[in-house]
Structure 1
Amino acid sequence: MIGWIDFACYVPEARSSIRSMKTELGLTEEQLRVLTDDYGLRQVAVEPRLRADHMMAQAGRMVARRNPEQLRHVDWILHTHTFNPFTPFLVEPLSDFQREWGLEGAKVRSVSQMNCASLDLLFYTAKLLLEHKRAKAVLLLAADKMFLPNSRYLQDSTVSGDAAAAVLLSRDAHEHRLVSSAIHSDATLYNSVLAEPREFEWFQRSFYVGLVKIMRQALKHAGLAIDQLAYIFPANVNQTAWIRVASALGIPRETFYFPTLPEIGHAHNADPLLNLEAALQNQILRKGDYYATLTVGMGSTFGCTVFQYGSVRKE
């Protein structure tokens, strides 16, 4: 069956508290209060040395070391990031990693046009490659690193941290079946944070609707009702956003599981996997549970992917 075999997250050890960053982020006392008290942010992970592509390779190595046999079947490597450029000019970001693990023959593609919803774009693309037998196995890599400290604050939303994640998917997975994946972009805020204030305010008020719609679309494709999801592992935007989405979906807010938000911040496309990793470490998933990733990106981009844990159904 199509699903993921293994995944790993790279998170730097260094942390900066939101309060200590008040001046460099240009926060007012009220903005600081909202971020910490209402949005649930305490600190962010900070990578002082590695580039984003180095962080990707670190996460990829963790998966590779645990799965050397399955890695031999990887014929596609898809990677994503939110910010451009993410490597210096004329640097091939993953060439060293490919040579290290004998993946020189794998096709490498950057899939990064949906900002912080690009992780679900990776899942969507990988599912198509595996379903149509264009690939035996696909390695997904995601990372973001903030180059300028004062750019970590996303107005009225969150504070960004640094992290990376890697996922190995195959047609021969046994425990985590990829049931459905849905993505959507309406490009109403194509200028992102540079949009007109009026447009930015509209996005801030309306993105909850887009999240509800993409969740329902993914569930419809999966043939599931919302109450059949045991957990949703979202991006670490802020806790207020997910409380509102839970209310709109008519599900308990505890369905949204994001324990890494206070400690790591919004690590962009690595977020849902950081939260899934915490769920597996804490053993809160049971065999047969359905769960989903849920992402939103600036520019009105949305993604949702549904998985089932412990399924043994053959495809």
Structure 2
Amino acid sequence: MTALEAVAVHLPPVARPIEELGEELGLSDRQVKLFRRFHGLDQVRLDPDGDLTDLLEGAATALTALRGREHRVRYVLHARSMPIAAPYPHNPLHELLGRLGLEHARAFTVTHHACAGSLLAIDVAGRLLAAEPDPEALALILAGEKTFTRDARLVPETALFGEGAAACLVRAEGERDRVLSYAVDLRGEFDGRLAEDPDLLARYQRDYPDAVVGVMRAALDEAGETWDSIRLLLPHNVNQVSWKRICRTVGLPLDRVVLENVPAVGHSFTADVFLNHHTATTRGLLHPGDRYLVAAAGLGATFAAMVLQH
């Protein structure tokens, strides 16, 4: 059963208040107030001096469980939201392999699920490792991206992106953080640029809560769990108000949802799941045997959820 061996995060040193970002993005005062007062955003972590390779390296070097086990890594996956991350022929992922001593590993990008891509990467890594003859084989998942365009900085009326990064070691079998289920709902009718299509944005915002709840319920059902049996919900960090509404709908108390990274970090693409996992474990919110639910949505649109056992 696929298991998360270890998770590490890297938060860039610069914290920009959303008012500064709003001015750069041409947002009105009303739009900025909406983000702060209604959505619960405060600041966004950014690394103005580093590139994508530096960002991912920060997360990988923080992963102490990787040290001395580099030879066990068979696969390196970059879970990426944006289809393009760097101009050709620059390849940040393969440059990183050289810095980490992982040139022997097979490396590739997992995309097309946008910000839900980290859950897809866990599933793909588990499937690949299950076919490996060596039970000690590992996969390294990297998550995090640069906010290098306007589309990579803003989801209209919803979220502001940050540059938090994460690294996760995965193995085919393990005793902790075992994957019990994985559910995905692909909704191609929402493909398009929300910033330029008000009707598409309105339809996406209307259907978003039901789609998120639906895929979470599917993951719970597959794992044989209920809202009462899970210890925590680890959401993606788009904003606080949408998760508060969803929790009211399903009857899940807010003290069982990790939301503290929303105002402090910003929506960090596919890294959100791992950032919140790191927060939950370092704060002692999960105990051995606890079941927990993770959920994410990616523009395009993909809704995904996964149940794990700590």
Band the TM-score falls in, shorter-chain normalisation: over 0.9
How far the C-alpha of 1:281 sits from its partner, in A, is 1.6
| Aligned equivalent of 1:62 | 62
Alignment of 1:19-34 (within 5 A): 19-34=19-34
CA RMSD of aligned residues (A): 2.0
**Contact 1:145 1:163 (C-alpha < 8 Å) held by counterparts:** no
**Contact 1:80 1:142 (C-alpha < 8 Å) held by counterparts:** yes
| Aligned equivalent of 2:49 | 49
How far the C-alpha of 1:290 sits from its partner, in A, is 0.8
**Percent of aligned pairs with the same amino acid:** 27
The whole-number CA distance in structure 1 between the counterparts of 2:133 and 2:297 is 28
**Contact 1:81 1:144 (C-alpha < 8 Å) held by counterparts:** yes
| Aligned equivalent of 1:313 | none
**Contact 1:257 1:275 (C-alpha < 8 Å) held by counterparts:** yes
- 2:4 paired with 1:4: yes
How far the C-alpha of 1:269 sits from its partner, in A, is 0.9
| Aligned equivalent of 2:302 | 301
Q: Which amino acid in 1 is paired with 2:153?
A: R
In structure 2, relative to structure 1, the CA distance for the partners of 1:180 and 1:130 (3 Å cut) is farther
In structure 2, relative to structure 1, the CA distance for the partners of 1:195 and 1:125 (3 Å cut) is farther
The whole-number CA distance in structure 2 between the counterparts of 1:304 and 1:221 is 11
Q: Which amino acid in 2 is paired with 1:4?
A: L
Deviations 1:12-36 (A, max 9, x none): 0101101233322222222222211
Deviations 1:152-190 (A, max 9, x none): 232110111111111001124332212222222121122
| Aligned equivalent of 1:91 | 90
SS in 2 for 1:266: coil
Deviations 1:203-243 (A, max 9, x none): 01111111111111111221212211111111111111101
- 2:180 paired with 1:198: no
Number of corresponding residues: 308
| Aligned equivalent of 1:115 | 114
Q: Which amino acid in 2 is paired with 1:250?
A: G
| Aligned equivalent of 1:223 | 224
SS in 1 for 2:37: helix
The whole-number CA distance in structure 2 between the counterparts of 1:140 and 1:20 is 32
| Aligned equivalent of 1:79 | 78
The whole-number CA distance in structure 1 between the counterparts of 2:230 and 2:295 is 12
Deviations 1:91-150 (A, max 9, x none): 232334323444222211211111111111112212322344488321111111111468
**Contact 1:45 1:163 (C-alpha < 8 Å) held by counterparts:** yes
The whole-number CA distance in structure 1 between the counterparts of 2:51 and 2:198 is 32
In structure 2, stretches of 5+ residues that fail to align are none
| Aligned equivalent of 1:174 | 175
How far the C-alpha of 1:248 sits from its partner, in A, is 2.2
SS in 2 for 1:278: helix
